[in-house]
Amino acid sequence: MKKKIIIDTEVYQDYFLLSAMTVDTGKVINIEMYEGHPLDTELVEKLMHNHITIGFNSNKFDIPIIVAALAGYDNQKLKGLCDTIINTNASMWAIYKSSGLNMRNWNTIDLIEVSPGMASLKIYGGRLKAPTIQDLPIAPDATISPEQRQELVTYCKNDLDTTYLLYNSLLPQITLRETMTAKYEIDLRSKSDAQIAEAVIASELYKITGKYLKRPDVKSDETFRYLDPKIITFKTPQLNNILQQVIAEEFTLGLNGALTLPNWLKKELIVINGRKYQMGIGGLHSCEKKQYIEAKDTHFLVDKDVISMYPSIILQQQISPKNMGQPFLDLYKGIVSDRIAAKKRGDNVIANTLKVLIVSSFGKFGSKYSLLYAPELLLQTTITGQLALLMLIERMEDAGIQIMSANTDGVVCYAEHNMREECDRIAFDWELDTSYLLEETEYSKLASRDVNNYLAVKTDGKIKGKG
User: How many CA atoms, within 13 angstroms, populate the side-chain half-sphere of residue 84?
Assistant: 16
Q: For residue range 419-436, what is the model confidence (pLDDT) as tens digits?
A: 999 999 999 999 999 999
For residue 413, pLDDT beyond 90: yes
For residue 340, pLDDT beyond 90: no
Mean pLDDT of 24-47: 97
Write the burial class of residue 180 (CB in 10 Å: 0-12 exposed, 13-18 middle, 19+ buried): buried
Q: How confident is the model at residue 347 (pLDDT cuts 50, 70, 90)?
A: confident
Q: How confident is the model at residue 359 (pLDDT cuts 50, 70, 90)?
A: confident
Q: Which amino acid is at 459?
A: T
Query: What is the rounded distance in angstroms from the CA atom of residue 190 to the CA atom of residue 300?
Result: 45
| Angle, CA 182 vertex, CA 179 and CA 187 arms, to 5° | 95
What is the model's pLDDT at position 149? 97
Extract long-range pairs of 164-171: CB within 8 Å, 24+ residues apart. Answer: 164/6, 164/21, 164/23, 164/26, 165/124, 165/125, 165/128, 165/130, 166/56, 166/111, 166/115, 166/121, 166/124, 166/125, 166/128, 167/6, 167/23, 167/54, 167/111, 169/128, 170/111, 170/114, 170/115
What is the model's pLDDT at position 213? 87
The CA-atom distances, in angstroms, between 234 and each of 238, 286, 387, 393, 443 are 9, 18, 9, 10, 28
Q: Is 286 left (phi over 0), alpha (psi -120 to 50) or beta?
A: beta
Q: For residue range 287-310, what is the model confidence (pLDDT) as tens digits?
A: 999 999 999 889 999 999 998 899
Residues 409-447: b if buried by 16+ CB within 10 A, e if exposed? bbbbbbbeeebeeebeebbeebeeebebebeebebbbbe
Q: For residue range 216-229, what is the model confidence (pLDDT) as tens digits?
A: 888 888 999 999 99
Higher pLDDT pick, 308 / 140: 140
Backbone angles phi and psi of 315, in degrees to 5: -75, -35
What is the model's pLDDT at position 461? 92
Q: How confident is the model at residue 360 (pLDDT cuts 50, 70, 90)?
A: confident
Percent share of the chain, pLDDT over 70: 100
What is the model's pLDDT at position 239? 96
What is the model's pLDDT at position 116? 87
Q: Mean pLDDT score of the chain, rounded to an integer?
A: 93
For residue 346, pLDDT beyond 90: no
For residue 351, pLDDT beyond 90: no
What is the model's pLDDT at position 452? 87
The CA-atom distances, in angstroms, between 64 and each of 103, 104, 425 are 8, 9, 61
Query: What is the rounded distance in angstroms from the CA atom of residue 135 to the CA atom of residue 162?
Result: 12
Q: How confident is the model at residue 342 (pLDDT cuts 50, 70, 90)?
A: confident
Task: Write down the pTM of the prediction.
Answer: 0.80
Q: For residue range 391-410, what is the model confidence (pLDDT) as tens digits?
A: 999 999 999 999 999 998 99
Are 438 and 306 spatial neighbours (Cβ–Cβ below 8 Å)?
yes
Q: How confident is the model at residue 4 (pLDDT cuts 50, 70, 90)?
A: very high
* Ranges of H-type helices in 170-192: 171-184
Write the burial class of residue 200 (CB in 10 Å: 0-12 exposed, 13-18 middle, 19+ buried): buried
Are 394 and 239 spatial neighbours (Cβ–Cβ below 8 Å)?
yes
